[in-house]
Amino acid sequence: MQSDKPVVFSAKGVSKTFGAGKNLKTAVDNVTFDIYDEEFISIVGGSGCGKSVLAKIMLGLYKPTEGEFTYRGAPIKNQKSHWNEVQFVFQDPFGCFNQFFTIRSQLEDALNILKDKPSKEEIRQRVDEGLMAVNVKPEDIEGKYPFELSGGQMQRMLLARIFALRPKVLIADEATSMVDACVRANILDYLRKLKDQLKMTVVFVTHDIGLANYVSDRIFIMHKGKIVNQGTPAEVLDNTSEPNTLKLLDDIPEVHKTEWIPNSHRAKKA
C-alpha cells in the first residue's frame, strides 16, 4: 500500500529464528511490510504462527536474525527510549501488575516513565479518563489490589493504563481475549476512538479474523512465520481463495459471525 503518511515500522525480508541445527525454529520467516502513521493493523493467524514474535520485534525485544527492521527510519537501538513512544498490552494482565500495590498507584506510576512528566493532578485526571474509557468508574477500583479483580477486569486495567499513557504506537497482543464479546467490542471501539484522538498507530494481534475485519485499516494474515495475505479487510476477506484466510474465517465463533462480518458476501461464507 502507498500512503502519504510517514512509515512507522518497515520490515524488509525479516526473519527470526531460535536455536540451531536440528533444533532450529523459524518463528518469523522473511516478512516484508510497511506500517504507516495512524494505521490500525491487525496481525491474524493460528497459534504458533509467529504473531507474538513479530510483535516483540516491533517492541525491540527481539532483533531479527535476518533482514532489516526499522522504526521511523532507524533500527531500534535503545529499548527505553523506544518504549517512550511504543507501548504494549500483552496476553497476561496479571503478569503486568504487581499484586502488592493498589491498581490506582500502579496506573499512576506508569505515567512516571514519561519524559515530560505530568503534574500530580494531571496524572490523577489522566488515570480517571483511562478508567472511564474502558467503562470503569474510578471509585470502583479505589483501594483495590490486582487479585481482587477478574481477568477481564484486569485486561481493562491494562487498556486504561494505555489510555492514560497515550503512546504514539500501541501493540496489543490478544488484549481483549479474556473479555466477553460485548465488552470486547466496546473496548475495540474505544481503542479506535482513542487512536483517532491521539493519532496513534495500533498493531493488534489476534486469532479472530472477524475482530480484525471489524477494527482494522489493513490486515496481515500469518501462517508458519510468513505473511500469506495482506491488505484492507475487503482485499483480504472478499472472494479470497487464500486457504489460511478461509480457515480463519471458518474459525470465527458462530455467535460473532453476523456481528463481525456484516458484509453480505462475507456473511455467505459464514
Interface residues with ligand ATP (CB under 6 A) are 18, 25, 27, 45, 47-53, 207
Return d(Cα 265, Cα 160) in angstroms, integer: 36
Closest residue (Cβ) to Mg ion?
A: 52
Does 176 bind Mg ion (CB under 5 A)? Our answer is: no
Alpha helices in the chain (DSSP H): 51-58, 79-85, 103-110, 120-133, 138-141, 151-165, 181-198, 209-215, 233-237, 243-251, 254-260, 264-269
Smallest distance, Mg ion to C-beta of residue 167, A:
20
How far is the C-alpha of 248 from the C-alpha of 231, rounded, in Å? Answer: 16
127 binds, among ligand ATP, Mg ion, none (CB under 5 to 8 A by kind): none
Q: CB under 5 to 8 A by kind: which of Mg ion, ligand ATP, none does 63 bind?
A: none
Of 2 and 47, which has the nearer Cβ to Mg ion? 47
CB of 247 to Mg ion, least distance (A): 18
With CB cut-offs between 5 and 8 Å by kind, which of Mg ion, ligand ATP, none does residue 50 bind? ligand ATP
Rounded Cα gap, residues 153 and 151, in angstroms: 5
Q: Is 145 exposed, middle or buried (0-12, 13-18, 19+ CB in 10 A)?
A: middle
Q: Which is nearer to ligand ATP, 21 or 73 (CB)?
A: 21
DSSP letter at 74 equals B
How far, in Å, CA of 254 to CA of 270, rounded?
8
Report the partner that residue 146 touches, choosing among Mg ion, ligand ATP, none (CB closer than 5 to 8 A by kind): none
52 is a contact residue toward Mg ion (CB under 5 A): yes
What is residue 4's DSSP assignment?
A: S
Strands 226-231 and 86-89: unpaired
CB of residue 25 to ligand ATP, shortest distance in Å: 5
Query: ∠228-242-231 over CA atoms, to 5°?
Result: 55
Least gap, CB of 52 to Mg ion (angstroms):
3
Nearer to ligand ATP, 52 or 87 (CB): 52
Non-local CB neighbours of 122 within 8 Å, separated by 6+ positions: none
Q: Which does 218 bind (CB under 5 to 8 A by kind): ligand ATP, Mg ion, none?
A: none
In the complex, what is the shortest distance from the CB of residue 50 to Mg ion, in angstroms, rounded to a whole number? 9
Binding site partner of 104, from ligand ATP, Mg ion, none, Cβ cut-off 5-8 A by kind: none
Q: How far is the CB of 140 from ligand ATP (least distance, A)?
A: 30
Query: By the criterion CB under 5 A, which residues form the site for Mg ion?
Result: 52
